[in-house]
Structure formats: structure tokens, C-alpha cells
Amino acid sequence: MLLLIKRIIKWGVKGFIRNGWLSVATISVMTFTLIVIATLLMLNIVASAVLKNIQEKIDISVYFKQEAKEEDILIVKSQLEKLTEVKEVEYVSQEEALRRFKEKHKDNPYLIEGLQELEENPLEASLNIKAQQPSQYETISKFLEGIYYQNIIDKIDYRQNKEIIDKLSSIITNIKLVGLILTGVLILIVVLVTFNAIRIAIYSSREEIKIMKLVGASDWFIRSQFIVEGVIYGFISSLSTLAILYPVFWFFSPKLSRFLPIEDFFSYFHSNIWAFLIILLAISIGLGIGSSLLAIRKYLKT
């Protein structure tokens, strides 16, 4: 058995090497398709990260009247935190609000001067509420309208942003859906292209396969040699894909971070590089073996 495997590998490797340019062409096609899949994967990740980032920026702000007591506000806070729809609630006291305002507008001397003219802190305390999903703000808002502490609430900032939040919600859902469909279609195309490339390679060996059968080789003996070639194709194209994508991602990462609200994209790629390699290897070797098996059936049937 071991001898058989040794022989199959021997002929598979020799066949691969002696095919020369055909092997190069097949690997190029497979590498290209893998790059497409890998890029799609990364784009999906980036899109999710961008969407998540945008979602984080959506929130409801509840502003409390000047005379509201802090302990009451904190009771409201704890009530909100009990809701399953609420992800987190941040309490911004009046002092904190003033500090943030000054920080935000520190380059605007007129505003700062104007503020100093006032005796009291004009800013209100607030609770910033973040929901688990954008679609849940409606529920949270309704909750707020019905609580006991209605009287201390001055303004709920959700109303003004409702339209934007709803629009963003549906855009996000649509993007995710379109993204999924697009990825599915492209992966299908990519699989077909790879299968075709391997089919061509095996087609060019059809005479050899016939002769092997005539000489008395069993179907599996013949098949396995081409499977070995398929594995080699997959392995080499995975490595080439990574070799190409690594510098490309490294180069484009800072540019991406500049106009998309995400963190360092390359470092995410780099830290997960082993996972990437394994996924790539699994896909490409799987494609290589599957395509070889399928493509050779025609020539083994006699």
C-alpha cells in the first residue's frame, strides 16, 4: 500500500513537472481565482467592520432637565441596562458634558469666551444609549416614553435621527444581503473557471490515459496520479496567492484606513495569516482534487 502511494506520488510529481507550461498556466488560473476569493473574503470582513463602526456611532441620547437629580438619572440608567435590546448606557454628567464641549470646541475662542460669560453650566446631563441592533432603537424609545421618570426628561434625541437611523438600518441590511449574493455568485464562477483549467490539463493527457488503460493499469492507479497533480496545483497556487496578497494588503492598508472608518486592516490580516493559509489551502486543494476527479471520469469510462 505504501509502495503504491509512493509510486502514485512519483508519477504525479513527474507528470506535473513534465507538463511544463500547461502546469504553469493551470496554476496561474487557480492563483487568480484564489486571489479573487481571498479579496472577497477580506472585503466582506472590511464591510462588516465598517458597518459595525457606523452602527457604533448611532445612539439615542436622553437629555435630562437641569433640576434632575443624579440619583434619579442613575435609576433610569439601570432600568435601561436591564433591557435586552440595550447594549450599553453611558452617563454623561453636566460637568462631564461641559468638559467634552470645551474639548471639542477648544479651537473656537468665541464659543469658549461666550461660555465663560455664563454663570451656570448650560449643558444638561445625558444618557447615551447604544442598542444591540439599529432596528431596536424604536423599542428603546417607546420604553423611554413610558417610564416613571418622564418628568425629568427634557429631550430624546432619537426623534430627530429616526429617519437617518431607519435608513441606515435598511442600507446595512441590504448591503449585507447583496454582499452575500455577490460573494456566492463570484465563488461559483471562480470554481467553474478552476475546474475548466484542470479539465484542459487532463484533456491534454487523454492519449496517455488511454494507453495506461491498455497497458493494464487500474482506474484508481491512473486517477490517483492526476489527483496528486491536482493537489500540487492547489498547494502551489495557495502559496502564490499569499505571496501576492501579502505585499498588496500591506501597501493598501494605510490608504484604506484613511477614508474608511476601520482600524488597521493589514494587521488583522497579518495576525490571522495562518488561518488564511489554511483556508486557502483547504479551498485550493479541495478544488484541485475535486476538479481532477470530475474531469478524468470521461476518459476512464472506455
- Judged by the rule CB under 8 A, the positions of this chain that interact with another protein are 3, 7, 11, 14-15, 18-19, 207-208, 211-219, 221
Q: Is 229 helix (H, G, I), strand (E, B) or coil?
A: helix
User: What is the CA angle 91-92-97, rounded to 5?
Assistant: 175
Nearer to another protein, 26 or 238 (CB): 26
Nearer to another protein, 11 or 195 (CB): 11
Q: How far is the CB of 4 from another protein (least distance, A)?
A: 8
Q: How far is the CB of 211 from another protein (least distance, A)?
A: 5
Q: How far is the CB of 29 from another protein (least distance, A)?
A: 21
CB within 8 Å of 2: residues ≥ 6 apart? none
Nearer to another protein, 214 or 275 (CB): 214
Nearer to another protein, 216 or 247 (CB): 216
Whether 193 and 286 have beta carbons less than 8 Å apart is answered as no
Q: Which residues pair with 89 in a beta bridge?
A: 129
Q: Which residues pair with 153 in a beta bridge?
A: 64
Closest CA to 182 of 54, 39, 285, 282: 39
Q: How far is the CB of 287 from another protein (least distance, A)?
A: 24
Closest CA to 205 of 190, 217, 220, 223: 223
Q: How many C-beta atoms surround the C-beta of residue 128 within 10 A? A: 14
Nearer to another protein, 22 or 239 (CB): 22
Q: How far is the CB of 214 from another protein (least distance, A)?
A: 7
Nearer to another protein, 46 or 217 (CB): 217
DSSP 136: G
d(CA 249, CA 98): 42
Instruction: Work out the burial of residue 180: count CB atoms within 10 Å of its CB; fewer than 13 is exposed, 13-18 middle, 19 or more buried.
Output: exposed
Q: How far is the CB of 296 from another protein (least distance, A)?
A: 16
Query: The C-alpha cell of 171 is what?
Result: 442600507
Q: How far is the CB of 52 from another protein (least distance, A)?
A: 53
- Phi first, then psi: give them for residue 200, nearest 5 degrees: -65, -45
Nearer to another protein, 7 or 106 (CB): 7
Parallel, antiparallel or unpaired: strands 86-92 and 60-64? unpaired
